Amino acid sequence: MKQFDLKNFNGEVFLAYTKQVADPVKTSLIEAGVFYEDEEIALKFPAQVGGNYAVRPITGLLSGDAIDLDGATDIDEGSLGTYSQGIVAIEMGKSFTEKDFTYSLTGKDFIIQVAEQLAHYWAKQRQKKMLSILKGIFGSALAGSVIEKTSVASTDIIDAVRGIGGDNADLFKVVFMHSVVAKELEKTEKITYALYNDANGLQRQSNVGFWNGRLVIVNDQCPVADAPNSKHTYRTYVLGERAFAHGELPLLYPVEMSRDSKKNGGQTSLVSRVRFYMAPEGVSFKASAIASTNKITNALLETAGSWELVNDGQGHSVDTKNVPFCAIDYTL
């Protein structure tokens, strides 16, 4: 079959292009309810110098023991500490171009399908950023919040949330896992799936699973790394429901059309841009990480040295048991 501009065409092309290739990349990780929006963060970016870096102040807790009084002892003074969280603005852009001649051959305006697929495209890009952030924060700031396993057992989730969260284990609500890990749990029926009644009143199993009461999101975008002896390490993340502050930031031109009437006989481009913040709770992005760049790449987000626990600048950091992230590394 002949091709033009990466598109097949023949006498039945119009019918062929009414169908869309199924995308194997699921965006369930960013649809799992771990995001919440904080409008105050968005307001800080135009107000603070630099434009792509903001600092969110966080009120600390009262601390120190009270003084026992005997009529001759002064009451000492304490203060309410203040912590700060560094947050970076992420900005990305992409252009998709379609030639007029494609329409002449196929009878279909592909730029319309580009527009229809744009939301899913950006969802995949945001999910990549989230996974890069997760890799980065566990590289150093939360390195101690990872447990290691050489087999999959039903009690692993308890080891993780109790081992890391202690008496704050109920902070962890959502589990991101690779299908290889899910398969092992499903074999022993350790993941339970919610049931529903279909239109005919028949009870069926849904895709909503739970592991020890925690929502399970199975997504093969979860990290896989090579391990010795032909094995692989599958990382499972356990997060809180409000693990990330996430929201949109203003852009001058979020989307626009670009028309070149001469090039390639005429072509149209759809130019799209997004700008947003995605801040993991309890973890701070270091200002020094962007001292020489304004480009927030996945590699930069994955760098362990870009992150640190939220702290007061005096050597006191938040307790990791209050940070809604832990992980299980399975070497299988």
| pTM above threshold 0.75 | yes
**Bridge partner residues of 277 (DSSP):** 89, 247
The one-letter code for the residue type at 176 is: F
Phi and psi for 288 in degrees, rounded to 5? -65, -20
**Bridge partner residues of 84 (DSSP):** 57, 311
Q: Where are the domains of the chain?
A: 33-62+80-147+222-324
pLDDT at 14: 45
What's the rounded Cα separation, in Å, for the pair 106 and 97? 16
What's the rounded Cα separation, in Å, for the pair 322 and 325? 9
pLDDT at 11: 47
Question: Would you give per-residue pLDDT tens digits along the chain (332 residues)?
Answer: 556 565 555 545 544 555 566 777 889 999 999 999 998 998 888 766 557 899 999 877 767 788 888 889 888 877 777 899 999 999 999 998 888 877 776 767 777 777 788 889 999 999 999 999 999 999 999 999 999 999 999 999 999 999 999 999 999 999 999 999 999 999 999 998 888 888 888 888 777 899 999 999 999 999 999 999 999 999 999 999 999 999 999 999 898 888 888 988 988 888 899 999 999 999 999 999 998 888 999 999 999 999 999 999 888 899 999 999 999 999 99
Q: Between the CA atoms of 291, 292, 296 and 297, what dihedral angle is there, to the nearest 10 degrees?
A: -130
Closest CA to 303 of 78, 133, 48: 133
